[in-house]
Amino acid sequence: MPLFGKKDSGKKIRKDVKDGCDKLPSIDDKYVIKELLGTGAFSEVRLCEHRETAQQYAVKIIDKKALKGKEDSLENEIRVLKRFSARRSDGSGVQTAAPPIGGPRFAHPNIVQLLETFEDKSKVYLIMELVTGGELFDRIVEKGSYTERDASNLIRQVLEAVDYMHEQGVVHRDLKPENLLYYSAAEDSKIMISDFGLSKMEDSGFMATACGTPGYVAPEVLAQKPYGKAVDVWSIGVISYILLCGYPPFYDENDANLFAQILKGEFEFDSPYWDEISDSAKDFIRNLMCVNVERRFTCKQALAHPWISGNAASSKNIHGTVSEQLKKNFAKSRWKQAYHAATVIRQMQRMALSSGGSGTAYGRSSSRISNVAADGTSSAAGGGGGAGNETSGDGQADTATTAASGSK
């Protein structure tokens, strides 16, 4: 069944991509495809270089066979990225996608750009802006100094980009730290929002699908209620919380308990981790992680908060505490191991179901396999850092099951 309920979506995406190909040479005529940067369930990302200018880009390569039946997910991602990609020429003949019906759109400096698309018999290629600065948490851990003001500046950039998205009628639906990347290795590099595989335009119908990453997902999504832009604000609140202490506001090894915490909005500013954090920062977070959607801040309200727009953010160095907690709770080795464990567990559960095994039997199997799998080395790129398992209807996004220890 098509992901967004459109029976002809597969035909549309093939036509949409092919329209671009009719006007452009093949990808090999224009670009040299180079080394692997990351992999996902249905795609891989590689470095590519423009043959005429030597300008480097990232190319997302989607396997059509693996994507079969989920073509509308790719269509959605391309449609959203086109909306945020201004038509411009760099003098090499490389142009961004044409603006959508309704007038031109302008690129936002904090949203990764789609430049053009290609297609051949087996694959679809998305030429993307190359982002080289690495993931948000990794950069914080590597820094020698880190303050509330640094966190405030990061969140301001995210809020400005998401506010722009919301003005264009787009809800991201999967904001999380691993989708926030530094543009370059420069000390003053800007933050970029990536991965629009789960995003949705509001004019495409009401949203009620449970998707996203549980540790960052809003209560109304878990409650299976219709939802809108406010879900992104909640996620930004969760990210803000983590940026100031290094651990997630909601955590439980049992998903049902985790969901119950989120539905109630139960989180604390634990001592001693929050003792040195300003009251303004705590007030900011409370207004973003508010269960009542009507009372939850919009992006514009959040941008006007003194912690973002004023001088309320403290300049005290909190790097030691935050980096220690980030390493403990979001270490890549942990989420890679968790991915491997969860994959094996799912396989064993399917076996138990097919053989008529009981729920109690599988509880024991899961526990044992988790312990064994912790020594495994299997991993998947594109995820990590979330408290819980990524749930998505996405056909092509770089998905990975992720986990945080939640310990302090």
**Looking at the annotation, which residues are catalytic?**
174
Distance from C-alpha of 134 to C-alpha of 273, rounded to nearest angstrom: 26
Residue 60's SS3 state is strand
Give percent helix, percent strand, percent coil of the chain, each to the nearest 5.
Answer: 40, 15, 45
Residue 6 assigned as binding residue: no
Distance from C-alpha of 168 to C-alpha of 57, rounded to nearest angstrom: 26
DSSP labels, 144-186: S--BHHHHHHHHHHHHHHHHHHHHTTEE-----GGGEEESSSS
159 CB-near residues (< 8 Å, 6+ apart): 236, 299, 302, 303, 308
Strands 114-119 and 180-182: unpaired
Distance from C-alpha of 172 to C-alpha of 83, rounded to nearest angstrom: 13
Q: In one letter, which amino acid is 183?
A: Y
Cβ–Cβ < 8 Å for 329, 405? yes
First to last CA, the chain: 43
Residues in the annotated binding site? 60
Binding residues for ATP, as ranges, are: 60
